[in-house]
Amino acid sequence: MLESIERAFAGAVPAGVACSLRVERTIEERFTVRRNAAEPQRRRLNTGAMVTVEHNEGLGYSATTDLSAAGLRRAVDDAKDWAEVSSGRMVAGLGANGFTSARGRYETQENKGWNDIPPTEKLRLLGELSRRLKAGDRIVDWGAGLHHTNTESLLLTTAGGRIHQETKVLVPTLFVVASAGGQTQRRSFGDSRIGQGGFDLMETMGLLDAPERLSREALLLVEAPECPDANMDLVVGPDQMVLQIHESIGHPLELDRILGDERNYAGTSFVTPDMFGSYRYGSELLNVTFDPAHPDEAASYAFDDEGTPAHKAYLIRNGILERPLGGASSQRRANLPGVANARACEWNRPPMDRMANLNIEPGASTFEQLIVQVERGVFVETNFAWSIDDSRNKFQFGCEWGQLIEDGRLTKVVRNPNYRGISAGFWRSLKGVGGPDTYAVGGATMCGKGEPNQAIRVGHATPACLFGAVEVFGGGQ
Amino acid sequence: MNFRDHFAQTAATVETLTRNGETSLTNYYGERSDFLRFNKSAVRQPGSVTDIDVTVDLIAGKRRTSTSVRLTGTKDEDATRLHHAVAGARTALDGAPDDPHLAFSREPRSSEHVAQAAMPSKAQAVDAIMRTGKGRDMVGIYAAGRVAYGFANNLGQRNWHESDSFNLDWCFYYAADKAVKANYAGVDWNDRELDRIAGDAAKTLPLLSRPVKTIPPGGYRAYLAPSALHEIWSWLGWGAFGIANHRTRATPFLRAIDGTGELDRHVTVKENTAEGLAPGFQADGFVKPPCVNLLSGGAYADCLISPRSAVEYGVKTNGANEGELPQSIDMAGGTLARDRVLKELGTGVYISNLWYMNYSDRNNGRVTGLTRFASMWVENGEIVAPLGVMRLDDSIYRFFGSELEGLTAERDFIIDPASYGRRSVDSMRLPGALVGDFRFTL
């Protein structure tokens, strides 16, 4: 199919018009078992293309499902019409930058191929996991699922660019809900479990061993006391660190936010262009990288959707802010360095600055060495609720699981553990970074942003971290 | 592209491919949209999207599979794609287990809703935004065009819902995070109406130039404008009213159901499909009732019940979508006149917009979120200063219960500007709410 589209595109662009074509073919499959009943298998084939034209210092795009020669010609004409009416009216720095001439290829490496496992085996496995979750009458809801996405994309440009990439992403889910009296508590494998690879990710993520533990913990939470309201130390497990990084480092560092594009919807940023190179974002223990080459992470790739080659870069080094999350277009607009992070969620939305893989580099402490430092605190795990202001400063997170830390030891379980703070100061209270034994690869499956709206997958790999003097609180009326 | 003809052709093709002993359900989505994104009163990303997304569910006995495919509008290519989709679904059926919650409409009820209108051209749209943003810092999105939903089965049922609309959603910024939010949405574009809305919004800008008022955490009198309530109901609607939420005791209205928490008797909320913009049918072919009472006189009333949940829990479906989410929330108004809101508020917080709602304690209906845009500090019935961003942490049993002092008589019809995957057809009709004590924590 891609070869015929390549020929059609070559014939669809009028001479002298700068143009790109981004074709995507996605196959999504979902298997779900809820309350021991298999739901209908869902398969989604999604093929389409976006044509982008730069003409007379204007810019326009047109997205279509019709990939015939005639369909692509119509899309080119449509995009060119937009470029003409926007000529001279574009945001400064856009409309006359040309398109990439890069050529290359990327493909996810699978150890055990998704398609090598028959659907009946996938359902059998989910059925077994589901049955293991139902541990008594107090378990009122439970389920297991697999969501696999295979995306093949081809970026062609009139500058000679040709980039062919294929990614395979797996999202396993597992949840259990326990209820007694007026208290309902959920324990899950976490919405942050997402990775790039084959069916073997199920094993490396630990899904197969999780059901009994999750049920036991949900039942414990129903009977547990509320998390105390206090200012104390906080140890954050990697599956909650994912959200902490995402909301209070990732989003504020997006360069298009800093440039104001998102102010009507996803918000602005407390970070300003003058901060790069000198601002102390966190303690000296904080090292944050953009790493598109991490083999297991959800948003690994060789080129972003504008065709910029992707390489690892430090955004924050030893606590000092170095560079934003900005793709080539935003870098030109802001005159700042950036990374290759211009991404679109699918063929019918244009690229913009996204997180891709945004990670905290591991330190040297074991989990026990983090805990033993704490005289009075709480350990939290698995995000349940998240909220942050439109400048990405005042945040609040709630977790499924909490456990008190007293005199350097994990003690009793507490429910509804929440904490709140302000990004600008919170990361400076980082006083312990876990080593490789606490490190986990995860991400966010539905990062929302942009107008028109886009939800995209991002990766976050992180160790557990220790923060000092955090405002922690529990539930109640 | 004539979506209606293409839907008819698609439905006929799928019907031809359906064998004896099989049932097919075809869900059709067509969209032709113009999107014009702008920042600082200049064009950021302008473009168009033409999309046709068709889902075919194939059912044999108690087994069911679902296959979605993008179509092109080209007859031969689409016939080939549908042939492959149905053949693939049939192969998947072979290995599928019985579905104990299988449910689909067996009594054909066809319907049709068509609301066509002329939309602005590309040039008109760009001109309107340039004119409105001139001399101002304007940022936002213009979306316009046609969306079409269709349902067909091989029992002869055909449902069609097609509408043209525009939604211009923007902010005028004063500086930093201080802005006025505005929206012009509808079906008949009128430059003078846009100018009127923009002019009204611009009148608030001078108030934002005053020094920001920072208040310490605590309880304050508050007025929540309809757009602030929109944020609250957008969040609560997600998991509050489905029967699955009710039966698994996951709804934030749990205490109202158990009788340990009370809402004010003036709180009445319904899913008003008849006066909303969403299609009146759902993906399994069931037709929705005009209205479902969700909260009635402060009491939790009926649930939204999808066909699958109806089988699972042994009750009758009311045509809810699979996720059992409301799409056309309608909250009853009260007696408070809008032009008396500031006087009745006295001294406190005028909340124009809220942002990023979530739970602090779902069992107790305790939610959190933040003030946004032109939220103001008010003293003695007069706006004094823009409010520094504050985080709320309060319970539905307080701000919709013991602390609710009044709801405005006037209500706003708010058309959702969201466009995740598709342009939203959700809407809400909401009053404003005066609250005696509203808790902020940060």
Q: Quick one: pLDDT band at residue A190, thresholds 50, 70, 90?
A: confident
Q: Is the Cβ pair B45, A59 closer than 8 Å? A: yes
DSSP letters, B243-300, are HHHHHTT--TTHHHHHTSS---TT--EEE-GGGSSS-SB-TTSPBPPS-EEEEETTEE
Q: How many domains does chain A have?
A: 2
The C-alpha of A180 sits at a distance from chain B's nearest C-alpha, in angstroms, of: 9
pLDDT, tens digit (0-9, with 9 covering 90-100), for B284-312: 999 999 999 999 999 999 999 999 999 99
Question: Any CB–CB contact under 8 A between A454 and chain B?
Answer: yes
The dihedrals phi and psi of A188, each to the nearest 5 degrees, come to -140, 165
Give Cα A341 distance to the centre of its chain.
Answer: 12
The C-alpha of A270 sits at a distance from chain B's nearest C-alpha, in angstroms, of: 9
Q: What percent of chain A has pLDDT over 70?
A: 100
Q: Where are the domains of chain B?
A: 3-208, 218-440
The residue-averaged pLDDT of A453-475 equals 98
Instruction: Note whether A244 and A214 are same-domain residues.
Output: no
Element (H or E) spanning A292, and its range?
A: none
- Tell me which amino acid residue A149 is: T
Task: Report the chain A residue with the minimal C-alpha distance to residue B34.
Answer: A62
Q: Which of residues 433-452 of A touch B (CB under 8 A)?
A: 448, 451-452
CA distance A44 to A55: 35
Instruction: Note whether A287 and A259 are same-domain residues.
Output: yes
Residues of chain B positioned with their CB less than 8 A from the CB of A128 = none
Instruction: Note whether A245 and A392 are same-domain residues.
Output: yes
Q: Which of residues 188-247 of A touch B (CB under 8 A)?
A: none
Q: Hey, what are A456's tokens? A: 């995209």
Residue A416 is nearest to which of B49, B170, B361, comparing CB atoms?
B361
Instruction: Note whether A62 and A196 are same-domain residues.
Output: yes
Give Cα A126 distance to the centre of its chain.
Answer: 25
* pLDDT (0 to 100) of residue B11: 98
Instruction: Note whether A218 and A255 are same-domain residues.
Output: no
To probe the interface with A, which of B49, B56, B215 has the most A CB atoms within 10 Å?
A: B49
Say whether pLDDT at A466 is over 80: yes
The residue-averaged pLDDT of B60-69 equals 98
Domain ranges, residue A130: 2-223
Question: Any CB–CB contact under 8 A between A341 and chain B?
Answer: no
Residue B364 is nearest to which of A179, A451, A477, comparing CB atoms?
A477
Q: Is the Cβ pair B355, A267 closer than 8 Å? A: yes
Q: Judge if pTM exceeds 0.90.
A: yes
pLDDT, tens digit (0-9, with 9 covering 90-100), for A353-365: 999 999 999 999 9
Q: Which of residues 256-285 of B touch A (CB under 8 A)?
A: 258, 260
pLDDT, tens digit (0-9, with 9 covering 90-100), for B198-248: 999 999 999 999 999 999 999 999 999 999 999 999 999 999 999 999 999
* pLDDT (0 to 100) of residue A424: 86
Instruction: Note whether A345 and A466 are same-domain residues.
Output: yes
Three-class SS of residue B177? coil
Q: Rg of chain A's alpha carbons, rounded to an integer?
A: 24
Instruction: Note whether A332 and A212 are same-domain residues.
Output: no
Report the candidate in B393, B319, B399 with the shortest Cα–Cα distance to residue B151.
B319
CA trace torsion B230, A419, A282, A316 (10° rounding): -50
CA distance A331 to A337: 6
Lookup result for tokens 């003293």 = B379
Tell me the β-bridge partners of B177. Answer: none
pLDDT, tens digit (0-9, with 9 covering 90-100), for A343-393: 999 999 999 999 999 999 999 999 999 999 999 999 999 999 999 999 999
pLDDT, tens digit (0-9, with 9 covering 90-100), for A193-244: 999 999 999 888 999 999 999 999 999 999 999 999 999 999 999 999 999 9
Q: Quick one: pLDDT band at residue B340, thresholds 50, 70, 90?
A: very high
Specify the higher pLDDT residue, A170 or A477.
A170
Q: Is the Cβ pair B71, A65 closer than 8 Å? A: yes
Q: Hey, what are A180's tokens? A: 């007694």
**Where residue A156 sits, what CATH number does that domain have?**
3.30.2290.10
Instruction: Note whether A243 and A179 are same-domain residues.
Output: no
Q: Is the Cβ pair A396, B360 closer than 8 Å? A: yes
Q: Which of residues 274-333 of A touch B (CB under 8 A)?
A: none
Give the mean pLDDT of chain A: 97
Q: Is the Cβ pair A61, B101 closer than 8 Å? A: no
Question: Any CB–CB contact under 8 A between B40 and chain A?
Answer: yes
Instruction: Note whether A244 and A150 are same-domain residues.
Output: no
* pLDDT (0 to 100) of residue A2: 76
- Tell me which amino acid residue B32 is: R
Contact of A356 with A294, CB cutoff 8 Å: no
Provide the b/e sequence for B401-436 (b: ≥16 CB within 10 Å).
bebbbbbbeebbebbbbbbebbbbbbbbbbbbbbbb
Task: Report the Cα–Cα distance between both ends of chain B, in Å, rounded.
Answer: 52
**A223, A248, A282 — which closes off a domain?**
A223
Q: Is the Cβ pair B74, A350 closer than 8 Å? A: no
pLDDT, tens digit (0-9, with 9 covering 90-100), for B361-419: 999 999 999 999 999 999 999 999 999 999 999 999 999 999 999 999 999 999 999 99
Instruction: Note whether A285 and A417 are same-domain residues.
Output: yes
HSE, CB side, 13 Å, CA atoms: give it for residue B70. 22
Contact of B51 with A34, CB cutoff 8 Å: no
Element (H or E) spanning A365, and its range?
A: none
Q: What percent of chain B has pLDDT over 90?
A: 99
* pLDDT (0 to 100) of residue A116: 96
Q: Quick one: pLDDT band at residue B95, thresholds 50, 70, 90?
A: confident
Q: Quick one: pLDDT band at residue A396, thresholds 50, 70, 90?
A: very high
Alpha helices in A259-390 (DSSP H): 328-334, 367-372
User: For the domain bounded by B3-208, which CATH number is listed?
Assistant: 3.30.2290.10
Instruction: Note whether A210 and A236 are same-domain residues.
Output: no
Question: Any CB–CB contact under 8 A between A6 and chain B?
Answer: no
Instruction: Note whether A255 and A208 are same-domain residues.
Output: no
Checking ipTM against 0.90, whether it exceeds it is: yes
Three-class SS of residue B364? coil
CA distance A160 to A152: 20
Question: Any CB–CB contact under 8 A between A137 and chain B?
Answer: no
Tell me the β-bridge partners of B368. Answer: B358, B393
